[in-house]
Structure 1
Amino acid sequence: MERNVNIIKILYASITAAIVAVACEAEAGDFISAHDGAEIAASPNPWQIRLRALDVITRDSGRVDGLAGSALSFSDTVAPEFDISYFFSDNIAAELILGTTYARVQGGGSIAGLGELGKTWLLPPTLTLQYHFTDFGAFRPYVGAGVNYTIFYNQSGKSADRLDVKNAFGTVLQVGFDYMIDDHWGFNVDAKKIFLRPDFDANVGGRNVTGKAKLDPLLFGAGITYRF
């Protein structure tokens, strides 16, 4: 009888200990979940957008094959730019840059007498990977590098009877900064260099010619930033 009582006491103590252990584990789990939730709530949204006004300054260089001393120049333009960024961490982000502009192609050197050869519109989607510095408070500088693919469209000749600039890949270097006014809104200044040298063909005075346009544009932008 005494042995049975001891067994019952042992079982009761074991069950009580188990219940206490389960209760403590559940409470700890609730605390961890609440703590994680607080961290998630405090984490910034990874998405960011910008709208900039962009000054596009092209390099005046290029050639028409077979015409000694030939040169090309291209008009500078001002255009809007929209970009979308995704932050993988506080420091690392990817940025997709969207915009469109145009360039007037002028003859130079031995073909300067042709004047404006024609005009083409450019759609240059650009993807960069950036490193953001986070040790300067509201001032947040960054550097980036990436790839560009420029689509030339709506092309027309002037002194050239036909102008066809070929789509081309380019590489990109980038530097800039955001100055955040609050958790969401900020002011942005940005500079990019695109190394872009597309081939082209044209018909000038009934003669088919080919060449290379060394655009290599330098892009200066300023605008607003919004972090979701």
Structure 2
Amino acid sequence: MYTKTIALAVGAGLLLAGAAQAQDFQPKTAGTLMLNTRATVVAPDAGDPITTLAGAATGLKAEVSDDVMPTIGLTYFFTDNVAVEVIAGTTKHTIRAKGGATDVKVQETWVLPPVVSLQYHFMPDQKVSPYVGAGLNYMLFYSEKDYNGFGLKVDDGFGYALQAGVDVALQGKLSANLDVKKVFFETDATDRFNGVKSKVNLDPWVVSAGLGYKF
């Protein structure tokens, strides 16, 4: 939550600066390609129960840490209002088993969570142009490092995402961007050594602020 607040504050500052300074700007139009470079917070909303392979309760829950990383996004406008966006970036997360007095580090893993979304942009010819979107996500876990005798395997898979954001023109082809996505993703995490598993609903918030450039 703390990191998400920082990201939102930075984004709000960029948007206010854009609203105050924008003069001559390029609107969004059909055929426009926009490149966004952003600082992004990925904050999983985990906390699912850990059970034995037979389904018995262990009293523990799987918790997943937040991370902040740079990301890039490419948006192509089919019409003035309708566009498709692809975002890419990778984040590192720590998985812990928590419950009562127990707080054990289980694994560190990198995640590549690309999202492809179809967007609708309101007021594309205005300095302040909000948008909404919906799309698909794929979670790929790699470079895992286990701790404390665990051998965790987290399954890759597909999810879906909802999106809302706003572009504020700065000058010419440059704009400020604030973007929020809610990704819905459920997976299985199985410990190969200790015989426990968890159905993990990661469902991360993906909060971004940065700059865009139109081609």
In which range does the TM-score fall when normalised by the shorter chain?
0.7 to 0.9
> Map of 1:32-71 to 2, 5 A cutoff?
45-65=31-51, 66-71=56-61
Instruction: Give the Cα–Cα distance (whole angstroms) in 1 for the partners of residues 178 and 194 of structure 2.
Output: 45
Q: CA RMSD in A?
A: 1.7
* 1:144 corresponds to 2:133: yes
Structure 2 unaligned regions, length at least 5? 1-28
> Residue in 1 aligned with 2:161?
172
Instruction: Give the Cα–Cα distance (whole angstroms) in 2 for the partners of residues 163 and 69 of structure 1.
Output: 18
Counterpart amino acid of residue 184 in structure 1: K
> Residue in 1 aligned with 2:102?
113
Rg larger for = 1
Instruction: Give the Cα–Cα distance (whole angstroms) in 1 for the partners of residues 194 and 176 of structure 2.
Output: 51
Instruction: Give the Cα–Cα distance (whole angstroms) in 2 for the partners of residues 135 and 120 of structure 1.
Output: 39
Cα-to-partner distance string for 1:155-211 (whole Å, 9 max, x where unaligned):
1211243111110211101000000123411000010100112111114xx422222
Answer yes or no: is the 8 Å Cα contact 1:114–1:159 preserved in 2.
no
> Residue in 2 aligned with 1:211?
198
* 1:86 corresponds to 2:72: no
TM-score, normalising length: structure 1: 0.75
Answer yes or no: is the 8 Å Cα contact 2:179–2:207 preserved in 1.
yes
Which is helix-richer, 1 or 2?
1
Aligned residues: 183
TM-score, normalising length: structure 2: 0.79
Cα-to-partner distance string for 1:196-227 (whole Å, 9 max, x where unaligned):
12111114xx4222222221111111000001
Task: Determine what percentage of the aligned residue pairs are the same residue.
Answer: 35
> Residue in 2 aligned with 1:35?
none
Deviation of the 1:105 alpha carbon: 0.5
> Map of 1:99-138 to 2, 5 A cutoff?
99-109=89-99, 113=102, 115-134=104-123, 137-138=126-127
Deviation of the 1:70 alpha carbon: 2.2
Answer yes or no: is the 8 Å Cα contact 1:94–1:128 preserved in 2.
yes
Answer yes or no: is the 8 Å Cα contact 1:160–1:202 preserved in 2.
no
User: Out of 177, 190, 193, which is 1:188 matched to?
Assistant: 177
Structure 1 unaligned regions, length at least 5? 1-42
